[in-house]
Amino acid sequence: MAVSKKRKTLKVQEAGARLRAAGLRPTRQRVALAQLLGAGHRHVSAESLHQEALKAGMPVALATVYNTLNQFTEAGLLREVVVGSGRSYFDTNTDAHQHFYCEDDGSLVDIPGKTIEVAGVPVPPRGMTIERVEVVVRLKRA
Amino acid sequence: MAVSKKRKTLKVQEAGARLRAAGLRPTRQRVALAQLLGAGHRHVSAESLHQEALKAGMPVALATVYNTLNQFTEAGLLREVVVGSGRSYFDTNTDAHQHFYCEDDGSLVDIPGKTIEVAGVPVPPRGMTIERVEVVVRLKRA
DNA sequence: ATTTCAATTTGGAATAGTTCTAAACTGTGT
DNA sequence: ACACAGTTTAGAACTATTCCAAATTGAAAT
Ligand SMILES: [Mn+2]
Ligand SMILES: [Mn+2]
Ligand SMILES: [Zn+2]
Ligand SMILES: [Zn+2]
């Protein structure tokens, strides 16, 4: 029998609370997406999250998924990871950590926060501040 | 008076030689682009290089610029730097070095090769090899 | 020099990811 | 219940890039 994996989701109540805490109105759609994103560390694309919501019986427009992911990112609930032209992921883990990225299959794998050490980052040009030091370890099939 | 900056270009002869050395047929278009790219370290987008070629009186189709940049990259003459969804630059400096990237204006600035030190890169997942460790220092206007 | 043909170029169509628009809807305060 | 700013939505629009099939061309062979 084809056992369909069921991902653990947050309770509506908790998702709503997180949204309010971030200053976002807990609409039906935002709560649904927050529920899907809320449990565990995940890397999603707008398209993949959209599919997931539909399958979970929570219909949401793709435009809303984009809006929501951007709002969550601005609110600090998500982090955006850019790996290739046109391929950008949203990461539910907002702590400092890095990624393996495999160009062949587009997969993104976490490297725990304390693993990689970056030293010697120079002072930024006048009038600029460092927002983040991003390390992506690009992989190829051996 | 508006002094139009004239960028130094390679001689046709030398551009041709580089192409042959890389196993690429020195067509008129490829020679023209190689001339523009050949002198000094540069960061170009397909669109910016296309404009530059037109202004220099070397008409080339945009599709050809894309083809050529990709071929040059495969041949090891260029390196591709991905900074944001849809924004990818080609770098004439293929040596190991890193970049400052300013999201506000899309500018890319070199960080010399030996400046940043990355330690603790973990062993890649089974069946994969590390192709490159990419460090991008993301900046915001202060 | 002429011939030949695979490699290359080209303009336009096609694609993919994302944002925009303006009308419909809904959460929240009164 | 009412009002309205905030939100959602379908579809159009946009941007960067690749694909296509026809025309051109570099270089090798005669
Ligand atoms: Mn964004
Ligand atoms: Mn490419
Ligand atoms: Zn991650
Ligand atoms: Zn560079």
B9 touches strand D (CB under 7 A): no
DSSP β-bridge partners for residue A130: B139
Mean pLDDT of the A116-134 span: 94
At residue B84, the pLDDT reads 77
The closest of A1, A29, A2, A3 to A16, measured between CA atoms, is A29
Instruction: Classify the C-alpha dihedral B68-B73-B79-B85 as positive or negative.
Output: positive
Helices (H), chain A: 12-21, 28-38, 46-55, 62-74
Q: Is the pLDDT of residue A106 over 90?
A: no
Q: Under an 8 A CB cutoff, do B134 and A129 touch?
A: no
Which chain B residue has its CA at the smallest distance from A102's CA?
B128
At residue B1, the pLDDT reads 65
Tell me the pLDDT band of A10, cut-offs 50, 70 and 90. confident
Ion ligand 1 neighbours, Cβ < 5 Å = A 70
Which chain B residue has its CA at the smallest distance from A119's CA?
B117
Query: Rounded to an integer, what distance in angstroms lies between the CA atom of residue B43 and that of residue B75?
Result: 17
Tell me the pLDDT band of B37, cut-offs 50, 70 and 90. very high
Helix (H, G, I), strand (E, B), or coil: what is residue A64?
Answer: helix
pTM of this structure: 0.89
B70 touches strand C (CB under 7 A): no
- Kindly list the residues from chain A whose CB atom is less than 8 angstroms away from the CB atom of residue B127: 141-142
Return the percentage of chain B with pLDDT > 90, whole number: 79
Among all bound ligands, the one having the nearest atom to the CA of B134 is: 4
Decide: B36 and B56 in contact? Cβ < 8 Å: yes
B24 touches strand D (CB under 7 A): no
A12-139 architecture in CATH? Orthogonal Bundle (1.10)
Half-sphere exposure of B44 (CA within 13 A, CB side): 27
Q: What is the pLDDT of residues A53-78, one digit of tens each?
A: 999 999 999 999 999 999 999 999 99
Residue nearest to nucleotide D16 (CA to C1'): B86
Residue ranges of the domains in chain A?
Answer: 12-139
